[in-house]
Each structure stands twice: as C-alpha cells, then as structure tokens.
Structure 1
Amino acid sequence: MHVIPDDPEGGNNDDYLTSRRQAWFAFAMTFALMFFDFVDRQVIVSLFPHIKSDWNLSDKQLGSLVSVISIVVGVGGLPVALVADRMGRVKSIVVMAITWSLATISCMFTANYSQLFVARAMVGVGETGYGSVGVALISTLFPKRLRSAALGIFYAAPSLGSVLGVVLGGMIAARWGWKAAFGVVGVPGLVLALLYLFVRDYKTVALTPSPNQATQSLGGTLKHIFVAMARTRTLLWVCVGAAAQLITVSAMWSWLPSYLNRFHGMAPEAAARSAAAVVLVSAFGCTFWGIVVGRLALRTPRNKLSALSVLCLITSVILVVAFGGSYTGDAQFKLILLGGFFMNCTVGLVAGVAMDVIHPGVRSTGAAVLSLFQNVLGLAVGPFLAGVLSDQWGLQWALTVIPLFSILAAVLFVIAMRSYDADVARISDVKLDVAPALADTLSAGAAT
C-alpha cells in the first residue's frame, strides 16, 4: 500500500499515514472511548442479582438487557459506517460517544424492566458503528506491519472496560444502590467526546480509480460497495467465525458473576470481583495473542487464520471441562481463568484480517459488516441463549454447552484461509492520504 503523507513530519514517519505521534494520539483516544463504551455496556451484569431481586425478573429477561445493545449495534452499524466512510470518521465518533453516555446516565431514572430495556437500547443506538469506525481509523493510520498488534491492544479495551464496569457496578450497588452505578459510569464518555475533536482523520478515497456515473449516485455507490464486499469471501467466512466465538465469550462475561453467586455462594460484590478477574485475563489474552500471532504470521499472513482455529479449539475444550467436569471450588475457577486467557483471542486478529482484505474506501463499512455479525449473531446470542438454557436446564449446563460454538468458529477460520491471499492482492495498490484534525477545521472555519 502506498502512503502519501501531508504533514511536515510525514517524510520520516516509518510508514505511518501521518506522524507517529498523531497516530498514537488517535489510538489512545479511540482506545479510551472503547474502554468506557464497555464500562457502560457491561456495568449491568454485576447488577443482575439486585435487579432480579427487586423486579423479580427471569434469566431470559436479564440476558435481554445485555443482548439488546448488541442487536441495535449490529443492525444500525452498517448505515452509520456508510455515512462515516463518506462524511468522516471523527465527526461520527464524537456524536456516538455523546449519545451513548447520555443514554447510560438515563438508565438510573428507570422504574421498571420495560423502561430499562428501552434505555439500554438507546445505549446501543449511541454505540452503533463505533467499533467498526474506530477499527477503520486505526487500521489506516498505522502501518500494515503493526496492524494485528495495534488492533490486538485496541480490542483489549472491551475486556478492560468490562472489568471496571463489573467491579464498579458491584461496589456502587453495595453502597448507594444499583441505579447509581449508571450515573457514575456515564460521565467520562462525555469528556472524551470533546477531546476526540483533536484526532486526525484520513481523507475518504474513491472506490474506483475513475468514478463514473454509476458510482456517483447514492444507489450506485451502495451497489458498488456491497458487490465489492460480496466478492471478498474471506470477510464473509471470518465474520461468521468471529460471531461463533463471541457467543462463548459474551455468555461467559454476562453470566459468570451470577454463576459464582449461585454455585459458589459468593456475595454479589465478591462474585463481581472474581468474574472481573476472568475478564481481565481475557483482556491480556486478547493483546498477547494479537501480538504473538501477528509476529508469527509476518511472512505468511494467512497463517493468522490457522492460529485462530487452534486457539478456538483450545477454548472449547477448557471451558467444557471446567463447567461439565467434576472440578469444583478453586480448581474449577483456575480452569475458567485459563479458558478466559484463550477465549478472547480472536477479536483483534479477526479485525486485522478483515482490514487486510477490505478496500480502504469502505473500511468503516466493511468493519461494520464484521460488527453486524459479531453483535447480532455473537454478542447478542450468547447472553440470551445462555439465559434461555439456564431457565430450562440450569446455569451450569448452559455454560457447559455454549463453548461448543468455539468448535464451529475453528472450522470457519480454516475455510477462510483458502481465499485470503487472493483478496489481499486485489487491494494492494490503493493510495491513501491524511486529513486535518476536526478541531483545526472548526478553528479555521471560525476564523474566516
């Protein structure tokens, strides 16, 4: 990929689209927003025991309070990403962060399940498209050789944010009531949204070297985009594989505090801390596997997919044994911790693979397709399906069955290897350029 920097530091930028400093500032801000995105999203799981007690809800209803966000994010992500790819990623992210933060704060004023469900859906409206747009921005500002590592670190943010959300939720609920937790965690996103105005975007590039009348109209552009992505078979297989693995991850993240509360006899606050430890280990695993697999596959990038397949198989074996075997107490919890280290392995690597094969002009949109599958067929399914199975068979058996989806993920990643090289070659000569920071543009506009 050829790079044409437009700033004074660009001549010695080591293949960064802009200067190294500006790229890492963009990364830090995008990471921070993703972190608080998941604080807001996951704070509710440590509140399940309190909400269940106060409102007498079923496990299916509790699971739906998590799943609704993923459904809204998945369904709405594609149109938002289409707008972001044409109008600018930074503007879109600022609007999204303000929206989901205000919606989170509104959850503290709900009086029943229906109101809380609607408020959580509005959190999803704000988060719609954020992950895919952020991935497109990072993938384009950073050199390709650092893509897997950067996205591996970036996708540790959901795990780390979930840890803080779960811990804070348990602590705040124990002291000031469970509704107060939503008010506390919603504020930081508003502050970060204002700081994000100083992030550099990249200029939107044409989908074809010489745009014709067919691609200048809205309908023609949409058709061109979807035809181009439909031809990218690697993306489609990777999307389904990523979703299958996230069924396992989301079920564990959502139901582990309740499992420890019911089967290990822990108080809700203590169960939240222990579950947060598992999520923290999975955050480390996400970064670790992103860096390690990225380095091992430098010479043969398609081997990232075979590595993902192996890691998914390991995840399934460990978690099925942990919940379905004879292990109890500390021995069982150590197995769950080990499973946590492997289960989040796919997130950063899958995004990196997707960015490898998607045209830069539609990276936000392509990432939104990935997000659609991950959210609707992965993150939304896990908590809800585990809740349904728990109501029927009990939570222990539900968490024994769910990790079998990781085997399906392993098979799909192997299939994706067959088309990877051809899809990468198709976009290897696209040129890119950097755009000024939105804050600079606003200042220049005000001056004139």
Structure 2
Amino acid sequence: MQATAAMGDPYAQRPTVSRSYAWCVFALTFGLLLADYMSRQVLNAVFPLLKAQWSLTDTQLGSLSGIVSLMVGLLAFPVSILADRWGRVRSLFLMAMLWSLATLGCAVSANYGQMFAARLFIGVGEAAYGSVGLAVVLSVFPAHLRATLSGSFLAGGSFGSMLGMALSGIVAAHFGWRWSFATMAVFGFVLALIYRAVVTEERIARCRTAVSGASPTGTRPRFTPRELARALFASKSVAFAYLGCGVQLILPGALFVWLPSYLLRAYRLPLDRASVLAAIFVLTSGVGLILCGMLTDRISRGHRARKWMMAIVYCALSGAAFAGAFQLPAGHLQLGLIGLGMLLGSGVCGPTGALVAELTPAPIHASAMAIWALANNLLGLAAGPVITGMLADRIGLHAALELIPFATVVSTLLFVVGRWRYPRDVARLAG
C-alpha cells in the first residue's frame, strides 16, 4: 500500500537509459518487493508450530505480525525523505540487507522476545521500500507508463505474500519452521547483492538530471510543517477517505495473517496444504486490487463522485461476504465466500488513492500518499491481526473472525460521510 507514496516523483519524462536496462531495473526492483513480502509473510505460515513450541497466545502471535506493519506505517514517510536525500538505490540495497538479516534473526530466535525484536527490525528495513522502489522504477520509464507500472508494482505485494506463505509452509512441513525463515533470508541477501551490482545510483541520477536539468532534490517544493498539515487536510472529505480505507483494511490485514491457522484448525488440513490454500486467497486479493481499480476508473469516468460510491460498494459487499462465510460451517460454500471477500476487501484502495490525489494539491501528492499509507498500515494492516488475536484468546479464532467483518460497517459510514462532504470540497477547490 505504501508504494503509492512515490507517485509524485517528477523525474521520468524522457529517460536516457535504454529500454532493456529500464526493464531490468523494474524486474530487479519488483523481485526485491517479492522478497520484502515473502520475508513478512513467512511468519503466518508457521503460526501453529510457534504456538505449540513456545506456548504462545494468539495475542502474542498477532503482535509478531502486527509489529511489522506498525513500523512500516510509522517510518515510511521519514525514511522516504532520507532516501531522496541520501540516494535511492543505495537506500534500497541497505533496506534489503537489513530485512534479510532480521529474517535470519527470526530463524535463530530462541523465544518470543527475540522473535519480536527480529520482526521489529524487519519492519524497519521494509518501511519505505515500496515508496522508494517505485520512485526508482518510475524514474527510468516514460511518464505515460506510470499508471501501469504503479499498478503492477503494488500487485507485487500480494504476489510476494502468496509465494512467502506457500513456500514457507512447504519448507516448514519438511524441514522445520527455522528453515522457512532462513530460506527467505538467503533469497533476500542474494537478490540484494545482484541489485547493487546491476542498478547504480549514477545511471539513475544521470537520467533524472537529463530530464530536470537540475539536482533532483532542488526542484521539490518546500513547506513549513504547519503549511503542509493544512494542505494535506484542507479538504474535509479527504480525511474520511484516509480513515475509511484504513479501517476497511482491518479485514484483509486480519485474514492475511490468520487464514493459515483458521484453515488448519477448522478444516484439519496439514500445514503445507493450509499455507498453499491461504496463499491462493492472498493472490485473489491482489487480483481484486487490480480489477476493482480498473472497474472504478471505467464507471467513474466523467462522474468523479462515483469513486465514493464504488468504495462504499466494495466495503458493503466484502463485509457481507465475510460475515456470511464465518456464519457457515467449514465447506466449499464458506471457502467461496471467503474468496469473494478477499477479491473485494482491498478494492477500496483504487478509488481511495484516486480521491486522495484529487483532493490534495499536486505539489504535495507524495506527502498525501504517505499519510494514506500511514492510515492503511496503522488502522488496518497492523491493527487487524492484533485485534483478531486478542479476540481469539477470549472467544476462539472462529468467533473472532465472525466479529471482524463489522469493521466494514465503520468504513462504509466513513465513506458515506466523505461522499456527503465531497461536493463542497470540489466547489471550494475549483474556486
């Protein structure tokens, strides 16, 4: 989600690098994004093994997952600023090395405290990879490809989650959970070293300079903190877009983490099969992210207010699908409704991102997208797993998943209020 924070980057009108090198940069940067999410999601596949070996509560398991999203939410914006100043390619390499080293730390952890510390540093390493990585990709391609590249790059998060969950479950079932973490760490180390050898700060910098004719950092607008805050929230409705999307992501955030455990407990599947099935659901969410965005663009063409209605529809339908699924016994109908919910649950990201861009001034789009990423991570992706774990300790995992869909009621109401305030904001901005 945080990858969209880089969409305001102004350097990519007529890149001077070759097409083959540009696609090589994209492939390697996308590959590191896969490694990012594979390292993040490996934990979810081995929840049952950690719970049994260390006698952990579901709250503790949820905190091990939520701490990563929490650090991403807190650090994405400041680390992105530092990367712009210090060098994006150099920063990406160091980020990948840090999260890979922390993933290796998970493999050798002896207790919950050590695992928590290692997971915290995974979050620190991954905090700004999405925003900085996308900025590097956009800087070597023509401007007319930005939407396609941004959508493809964002979908990499779901694909990486799917691969991490599926491969980790298979490795853990045959060799133990420690090897799952070690495998992802080695993959990250190797890819980071290849990236550093192939993608150079000098070629990227020459590309930016050729376009802008100046130092990249010198063309950015400067605001005082008060002016920036006032501009970010000048439109009242945009605040409801931030909040609505963040609350809605409680659902996919919880399901990404707890689906393997739920499938193992409710369906009595072996760990490797439960992880693969959960990974398919995560992939469904990534496909839905792309399809819902395309559908929103088509329906709202010429009718900008329809973006609000599409967000409301996605919230309501996904909430109904999840609520119906967890009222049913284990079976094919339940799995079908979970799949429908996963397809639509993250669909609000498309219309919300468009609304944030529309309702904030163009010179601060990057900052606005970073605020959006902060809400998505803190309110949704970090809170969802922890809330579910706390409820599961008290009433059981199935009962907890019955309650989580009520978050869509809150997100729907937030989008309804935003839609109500939207015409006044548009009129004021036009004036």
Q: TM-score range by the shorter chain?
A: 0.7 to 0.9
What pairs with 1:343-382 in structure 2 (closer than 5 Å)?
A: 343-359=345-361, 361-382=363-384
Q: 1:319: which partner in 2?
A: 322
Counterpart in the other structure of 2:400? 398
Tell me by how many angstroms 1:169 deviates: 1.1
- Report the alpha carbon displacement of residue 129 of structure 1 after superposing the two structures with TM: 2.1
Give TM-score, length-normalised by structure 2: 0.83
Partner-residue secondary structure (3-state), 1:179: helix
Counterpart of 1:442 in structure 2 is none
Q: Secondary structure at the match of 1:299?
A: coil
Q: Does 1:183 align with 2:182?
A: yes
**Counterpart in 2 of 1:285?**
288
Out of 300, 307, 311, the position equivalent to 2:310 is 307
Partner AA of 1:161 in structure 2: G
Relative to the length of structure 1, the TM-score reads 0.80
2-structure distance, mates of 1:412, 1:261: 35
Secondary structure of 2:39's counterpart equals helix
Alignment partners' CA distance in 1, 2:313 and 2:139? 28
The corresponding residue for 1:108 is 107
Correspondence for 2:260 among 254, 257, 261: 257
Consecutive unaligned residues of structure 1, counting only runs of 5 or more, are 10-17, 209-214, 428-448
Higher deviation after alignment, 193-202 or 53-62: 193-202
Sort the Cα spacing of 1:327 and 1:140 in 2 relative to 1 into closer, same or farther, 3 A: farther
The change in CA–CA distance for 1:154 and 1:140 in structure 2 (over 3 A counts) is same
Letter in 2 for 1:343: G
Q: Which residue of 2 aligns with 1:78?
A: 77
Give how far 1:163 is off: 0.9
Whole-Å separation in 1 of the counterparts to 2:418 and 2:61: 35
Would you say how many aligned residue pairs link Structure 1 and Structure 2? 408
**8 A contact 1:149–1:291 mirrored in 2:** no
Provide the rounded CA distance (Å) in 2 between the counterparts of 1:122 and 1:114. Answer: 13
Gaps of 5+ in 2: 1-7, 209-215
Output the CA distance in 2 between the equivalents of 1:398 and 1:117: 23
2:335 aligned residue (322, 328, 333):
333
| Residues 391-445 of structure 1 deviation map (CA, whole Å, 9 limit, x = unaligned) | 1111111111112212322332344444489679969xxxxxxxxxxxxxxxxxx
Alpha-carbon displacement from aligned partner over 1:316-338 (angstroms, at most 9, x marks no partner): 000000002x3431221121112
Kindly indicate whether the alpha-carbon contact (under 8 Å) linking 1:156 and 1:284 is maintained by their aligned counterparts in 2.
yes
> Aligned letter for 2:281?
V
Counterpart residue type for residue 408 of structure 1: V
Give the match's secondary structure for 1:271: helix
Q: How far does the alpha carbon of each residue in 1:198-243 deviate from its partner, in whole angstroms, 9 at most, with x for none? A: 68475346455xxxxxx5xxxx643443332232545432221121
Q: 2:319 aligns to what SS in structure 1?
A: helix
Deviation (angstroms), 1:181: 0.9
Q: After TM superposition, give the deviation of residue 125 of structure 1 in Å.
A: 0.6
Amino acid at match of 2:269: M
Amino acid in the other structure paired with 2:314 = L
State how far apart, in whole Å, the 2-side matches of 1:426 and 1:81 are.
28
**C-alpha distance in 1, partners of 2:235/2:99?**
32
Q: Superposition pairs for residues 192-211 of structure 1, below 5 Å? A: 192=192, 193-194=195-196, 195-197=198-200, 200=204, 203-204=216-217, 206=219, 208=221
Which residue of the other structure, out of 401, 407, 410, is the alignment partner of 2:409? 407
Alignment-derived partner of residue 169 in structure 2 = 170
CA distances 1:269-297 after superposition (whole Å, capped 9, x unpaired)? 11111111111111111121122322333
2:12/2:142 contact within 8 Å kept: no
C-alpha distance in 2, partners of 1:420/1:145? Answer: 30
Q: State the partner residue of 2:385.
A: 383
CA pair 144-247 structure 1, distance change in 2 beyond 3 A = farther
RMSD: 3.3
Decide whether aligned partners of structure 1 residues 6 and 411 sit closer, same or farther in structure 2, where only a CA change above 3 A counts. closer
Q: Which stretch has the larger CA shift, 138-147 or 358-367?
A: 138-147
SS at match of 1:371: helix
1:75 positional shift? 1.4
Percent of aligned pairs sharing the same letter: 35
Alpha-carbon separation, structure 2, partners of 1:37 and 1:348: 22
Q: Which residue of 1 aligns with 2:232?
A: 229
- The AA in structure 2 aligned to 1:374 is N
Give yes or no for contact 2:139–2:204 (8 Å, CA) kept in 1: no
